[in-house]
């Protein structure tokens, strides 16, 4: 459990990035911070591993005040994935993944074996292990970044706009992958994005930020969609523009699916007549984008 | 040419002296410039102080410095250490600027993520900053190497034996073969040093080798296509 108690951050230049922020993140939840740039969401994320120290207030992990812990030790116990993967360009993929275990004193051979297993976990071919990051596609680099974050088997995974710089197809694939990993590995994930669709797709719990680290609304995606707390949220999630309000058109597909239209009358999707096909289509799109990702490397 | 073969032992001895006297300033200058350059890359004040100091040191004429050093450290005028110290000062003066640029060239997001996953300050310096500054440091030390090898020859004027002695001797005797021999030998020493530096860098920076080999291959492919 991660707990923010009245956390404030004022930067030396006087900017008040976060003002009296309080939030409890339960364990093993996928929580998404979403908001436009400069709203303080990244600052708040970076406070969890003490990359930023609050000016006042407390942050507790499982009841312990992190200000009293050793920052380096704390960071080694928390997985961190950032936008440009942040891989060490001078180390091979396998060495990047085993970096933190090696820092913690794990023997080289064991760290390497573990890293090879992790590459498999994140869906990367063993053959990539001895390449340098620059020789990988953007999607593959992000997977290595995730593998590196998982290498110390952390309870907490921090992800700072990790899929912001990859193309939409690869992004969809990585999103599916991270949801699968979270289901399998049962971590607490704190995920920062400015993309509300990504937030609703991934989050068990979504926190929408306004400027100054103020929470505009938090809840499950369904709660937020059903009852936007104010005009800011309504605009942010696109409800005010009718993007989220779908109506059924007169047209029907051959197997009886209903075509849905958004508030502008643009087709937004189809509503299946039976619930079954959703899963099948998910698998299909994954294999398609998988090919794209590999192709970028070949 | 006959002169070269009859005096081969002398020339070889001077070459070894030249190598010995120039290796020390290059190595010591490199090692000293690393912490100074790192400091300069970390703070604006340190940068302006160190780079200005380096610039001023470099403007001191070499002959004046060779003569001034024994006065300052209190040694004998003919002691080769004077020349070694002077050349080390020049090496640092040149290298500090490059080292500062080298550390500034390390991508900030890589540094940030290294810290975020749990490198301590010292670990990050040796495992991340230093190797990633490597390519620019290499460029700097190659300049220092060439400049040291050629500057050393001036030491012959104050009586420190090296390949430059072939110049002073050749001028006094108006004997051009000797001057040409000195010139060619100095060029060869500089060339060998450069090759050694590049080979060391290739061994120490395998990732750099691959990416540059790849871009060379890509260039070749593009050239072949067009």
- Residues (pLDDT < 70) of chain B are 210-226
Say whether pLDDT at A283 is over 50: no
List chain B residues with CB under 8 Å of A96: none
Closest partner CB to B114 (pick from A84, A88, A132): A88
A-chain residues near B128 (CB < 8 A)? 88
The shortest C-alpha distance from B194 to chain A (Å) reads 23
Chain A's closest residue to B135, CA to CA, is A90
Average pLDDT over residues A113-142: 93
- Chain A CB contacts of B205 below 8 Å: 90
Q: Å from A132 to nearest chain B CA?
A: 7
> Which residue of B116, B127, B210 is in closest CB contact with A132?
B210
Please state, in angstroms and rounded to a whole number, the distance separating the CA atoms of residues A128 and A144. 10
Scanning B152-205, the segments in alpha helix (DSSP H) are 165-173, 176-204
Residue A294: the pLDDT is 42
Look at the block and give the residue holding tokens 């699916």.
A257
Look at A76 and B117 and tell me if their CB atoms are within 8 Å. yes
Greatest mean pLDDT among A254-258, A267-271, B193-197: B193-197
A138: left (phi over 0), alpha (psi -120 to 50) or beta: alpha
Binary contact (B115, A100; C-beta < 8 A)? no
Q: Is B164 helix (H, G, I), strand (E, B) or coil?
A: coil
Predicted ipTM of the assembly: 0.80
N-term to C-term CA, chain A: 43
Report pLDDT for A264.
77
Q: Cβ B116–A75 below 8 Å, yes or no?
A: yes
Nearest Cβ partner of A89 from B110, B115, B119? B110
Cα distance between residue B130 and residue A29, in whole Å: 39
Sign of CA dihedral B72, B73, B76, B80: negative
Interface size A-B, in CB pairs within 8 Å, comes to 66
Cβ B120–A72 below 8 Å, yes or no? yes
Q: Which residue in chain A has the smallest CA separation from B207?
A: A90
DSSP code of residue A257: P
Pairing relation of β-strands A2-10 and A56-61?
antiparallel
Residue A286 scores a pLDDT above 50: no
Rounded alpha-carbon distances, angstroms, from residue B214 to A49, A87, A111, A131, B72: 37, 19, 29, 13, 51
Per-residue buried b or exposed e for A21-39, using 16+ beta carbons within 10 Å of the residue's own CB: bebebeeebbbbbbbeeeb
Local confidence band at A38 (pLDDT 50, 70, 90 cut-offs): confident
Helix (H) or strand (E) holding B68: helix B62-73
Spatial separation of the C-alpha atoms in residues B222 and B33, rounded to whole Å:
40
Tell me what pLDDT residue A241 has: 67
Q: What is the pLDDT of residue B69?
A: 85
Low-confidence winner among A69-73, A110-114, A243-247, B80-84 (lowest mean pLDDT)? A243-247
Which residue do the tokens 């590995």 mark? A185
Locate A129 and state its tokens.
């292990």
Give the CA distances from residue B47 to residues A122, B60, B144, in Å, rounded to whole numbers and listed in that order. 44, 21, 20
Reference B158, options B92, B56, B86, B90; nearest CA is B86
- pLDDT, tens only, A208-217: 998 888 899 9
Res A44: pLDDT: 94
Question: Domains in chain A, please, with CATH?
Answer: 1-71+179-241 (3.40.50.300), 78-154 (no CATH), 245-298 (no CATH)
Domains of chain B: 2-225 (1.10.3720.10)
**What pLDDT, on the 0 to 100 scale, is given for residue B220?**
54
Distance CA B218, CA B220 (A): 5
Residues 6+ apart with CB under 8 A from A220: A203, A204, A205, A206
Judged by CB atoms closer than 8 Å, whether chains meet at A82 and B208 is answered as no
Average pLDDT of chain A? 86
- CB contacts of A149 in chain B (<8 Å) are 117
Within a 13 Å sphere around the CA of A130, how many CA atoms are in the beta-carbon half?
Answer: 2
The label of the residue with tokens 């696109």 reads A238
- Give the whole-number percent of chain A exceeding pLDDT 90: 60
Residues in A 105-144 with any Cβ partner in B closer than 8 A = 132, 134-135
Helix B80-104, helix B62-73: angle, nearest 10:
110
Residue A293 is predicted with a pLDDT of: 43
CB nearest B118 (choices: A88, A103, A134): A103
Min Cα distance B110 → chain A (Å) is 5
Q: Which of A47, A86, A105, A159 to mutate to test the interface with B (most CBs of B within 10 A)?
A: A86
Share of chain A above pLDDT 70, in %: 90
Q: Does residue A292 register a pLDDT over 80?
A: no
Cross-sheet strand order for the sheet of A56-61: A16-25, A2-10, A56-61, A64-65
Q: Which residue has the tokens 């005096």?
A: B7
Nearest CB neighbour to B112, from listed A86, A89, A100: A86
Q: Give the integer Cα–Cα distance in Å for A51 and A86.
A: 15
- How many residues does this entry show for chain A? 298
Radius of gyration of chain A (CA): 21
Pairing, β A205-210 against β A214-219: antiparallel
pLDDT at A88: 95
pLDDT of residue B89: 92
A136 phi and psi angles, rounded to 5 deg: -110, 160
CA distance B191 to chain A (A): 28
Q: Does B210 touch chain A (CB under 8 A)?
A: yes
CA–CA distances in Å: residue B169 to residues B16, B78, B121, B148: 18, 17, 54, 21
- Binary contact (B116, A80; C-beta < 8 A): yes
Q: Search chain A and give the residue with CA nearest B131.
A: A90
B208 CB-side CA count, 13 A: 16
Report, as an integer, the average pLDDT of A4-11: 93
Token couple for A66:
């992190």
The b/e string for A112-146 (b: 16+ C-beta within 10 A; e otherwise) is bebbbebbebbbbeeebbebbbebbbbbbbbbbbb
At A7 the pLDDT is: 94
Most B-contacting residue of A52, A76, A78, A89 (CB-CB within 10 A), to test interface = A89
A91 touches chain B (CB under 8 A): yes
């Amino acid at each position: 459990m991660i707990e923010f108690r009245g956390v404030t951050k004022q930067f030396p230049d006087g900017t008040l990035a976060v003002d009296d922020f309080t939030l409890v993140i339960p364990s093993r939840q996928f929580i998404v911070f979403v908001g436009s740039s400069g709203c303080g969401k990244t600052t708040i994320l970076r406070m969890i591993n003490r990359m930023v120290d609050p000016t006042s207030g407390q942050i507790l992990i499982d009841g312990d005040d992190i200000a009293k812990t050793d920052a380096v030790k704390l960071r080694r116990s928390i997985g961190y994935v950032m936008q440009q993967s942040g891989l060490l360009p001078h180390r091979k993929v396998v060495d990047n993944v085993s970096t933190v275990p090696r820092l913690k004193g794990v023997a080289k051979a064991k760290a390497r074996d573990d890293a090879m297993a992790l590459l498999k976990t994140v869906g990367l071919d063993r053959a990539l292990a001895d390449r340098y990051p620059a020789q990988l596609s953007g999607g593959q680099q992000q997977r290595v970044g995730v593998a590196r974050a998982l290498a110390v088997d952390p309870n907490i995974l921090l992800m700072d706009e990790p899929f912001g710089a990859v193309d939409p197809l690869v992004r969809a694939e990585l999103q599916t992958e991270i949801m699968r990993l979270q289901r399998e590995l049962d971590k607490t994930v704190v995920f920062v994005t400015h993309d509300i669709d990504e937030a609703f797709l991934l989050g068990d719990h979504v926190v929408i930020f306004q400027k100054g680290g103020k929470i505009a609304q938090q809840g499950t995606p369904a709660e937020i969609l059903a009852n936007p707390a104010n005009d800011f949220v309504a605009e942010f999630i696109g409800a005010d523009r009718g993007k989220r309000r779908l109506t059924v058109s007169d047209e029907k597909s051959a197997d009886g699916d209903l075509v849905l239209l958004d508030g502008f009358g643009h087709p937004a999707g189809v509503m299946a007549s039976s619930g079954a096909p959703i899963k099948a289509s998910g698998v299909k799109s994954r294999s398609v984008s998988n090919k794209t990702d590999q192709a970028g490397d070949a | 040419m006959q002169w070269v073969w009859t005096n081969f032992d002398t020339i070889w001895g001077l070459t070894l002296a030249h190598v010995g006297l120039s290796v020390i300033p290059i190595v010591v200058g490199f090692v000293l410039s690393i912490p100074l350059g790192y400091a300069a890359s970390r703070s604006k004040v340190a940068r302006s102080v160190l780079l200005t100091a380096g610039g001023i040191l470099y403007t001191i004429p070499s002959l004046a410095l060779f003569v001034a050093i024994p006065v300052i450290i209190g040694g004998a005028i003919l002691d080769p250490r004077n020349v070694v110290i002077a050349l080390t000062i020049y090496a640092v003066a040149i290298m500090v600027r490059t080292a500062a640029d080298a550390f500034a060239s390390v991508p900030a997001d890589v540094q940030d993520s290294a810290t975020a996953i749990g490198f301590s300050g010292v670990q990050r310096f040796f495992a991340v900053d230093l190797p990633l500054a490597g390519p620019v440091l290499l460029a700097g030390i190659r300049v220092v190497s060439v400049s040291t090898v050629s500057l050393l020859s001036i030491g012959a004027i104050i009586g420190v034996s090296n390949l430059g002695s072939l110049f002073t001797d050749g001028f006094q005797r108006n004997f051009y073969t000797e001057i040409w021999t000195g010139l060619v030998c100095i060029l060869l020493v500089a060339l060998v040093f450069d090759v050694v530096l590049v080979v060391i860098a290739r061994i120490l920076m395998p990732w750099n080798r691959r990416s540059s080999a790849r871009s060379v291959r890509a260039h070749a492919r593009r050239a072949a296509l067009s």
